[in-house]
Amino acid sequence: MSGPAQAHRPLADKIRPTTQDEFVGQAHLRDRIATFLAADRMPSLLFFGPPGCGKSTLALLLAEKSGLPFIRVSAPEAGLSQLRKQLAGARLLVLDELHRFSKAQQDFFLPLLESGEITLLATTTENPSFSVTRQLLSRLHVLRLGPLTDEDLLFIVRRGAEALDMELSEEAMRLLVTVAHGDARTLLNLVEHAASLAPEKREVEHLKAALPEFVQRHDKAGDSHYDIASALIKSIRGSDPDAALYYLACLLEGGEDPRFVCRRLILSASEDVGLANPQALPMTVACQQAVEFVGMPEGFIPLAETTVYLAVSPKSNASYAAYRRAQRHLREHGTSPVPIHLRNPATRLMKEWGYGEGYKYPHDFPHGWAEQRYLPDEVNVRFYKPSENGQEPRLLAWWRDVTGRR
């Protein structure tokens, strides 16, 4: 490529490594990559990792080294009918963003890989356990890549600045590395942006103001989505309001649907706070209604209030754990017949069979409680085990006093 086309190539493409020695990062994969490069036949591979960590670069290095005729396509841009035509004469396919194909579309590759007609080198930013079919995954070697380290990124900054014949101070380079959040592609875009500035504007004090606005990368469909949501709930459960607010901000500033956050908070109110603070559940439901009513971006206000409220509330998972015990009992022993005195005598025949006979109506007794058995005779298990946290003991005081149970 030369002339105007070469001049307009993105910096990331201009300095893309062409040999394994030029490749930066992912030291844990170097031996495996060397093995694949030395093999007589390239296996089909799936590169899994965050954006800008080198997945496509490694796939292209291996494709070039294989000596096989290959094509490179991106799943969002390629329909299967178009892909069939493009594969004519090709022996190897470099496929970016495999997860963007539906599970049904992924079945297209099964016979091609089974017959050896095509070798597939695919990339994905999403956990393949969830985004790739089990049948296709069984035919691929999965290589997991991690985010690039700051030292890796500093090396890439220097290489990019040299390619653009631009001088950058060490402090300015470290600023760009910080803003890029481990993504080499984003980093090189920032280097290009810096190159467009006047030399005096490339010093840190000016560069901070001149850079485009970047926020923490958050992939709503990928691992980051679930990792951050998990961290939010675990921080609430651990009664750390600062950490909970941090992860809430990561979700919202990353573009997360606030309704998803509301659902997580509602579940946390029931599972983690529970009867230690019974007001937690109505608080989260009110939060969901408030967010729907006011919308975003102001919706962060009730979300932040509710997140802090849950984090500083006393915790009890007694009701959640009680249900899990009942669930486990049913799965192990099956259901047992309802005691006959609890059955509703809806017809005369049912009454003749004894349905409802001997049932004690609690409201006819002092304190609205009557001693009688509710569980089936063969079920002698205590599922609910109250905690001593928050308001749960107060809520149970009447029950304990009347029933004599603890």
Flag whether pLDDT at 242 surpasses 80.
yes
CATH of segment(s) 334-403: 1.10.3710
Residue 215 has what pLDDT? 42
Listed by start position, the domains of the chain span 26-144, 150-210, 223-312, 334-403
The pLDDT tens digits for 69-123 are: 888 888 877 777 778 888 888 888 898 888 888 888 888 889 889 888 888 999 9
Q: Which CATH superfamily is domain 26-144 in?
A: P-loop containing nucleotide triphosphate hydrolases (3.40.50.300)
CATH 1.20.272.10 for domain 223-312: yes
| DSSP state at residue 346 | -
User: Cβ of 174: how many Cβ atoms within 10 Å?
Assistant: 16
377 pLDDT tier (thresholds 50, 70, 90): confident
Flag whether pLDDT at 219 surpasses 60.
no
Contact criterion met (CB below 8 Å) for 319 and 287: no
Please indicate whether residue 11 or residue 313 has the higher confidence score (pLDDT).
Answer: 313
Contacts of 235 (CB under 8 A, 6+ apart): 243, 244, 246, 247, 311
Reply yes or no: is the peptide bond before residue 128 cis, omega within 30 of 0. no
The verdict on pTM exceeding 0.75 is no
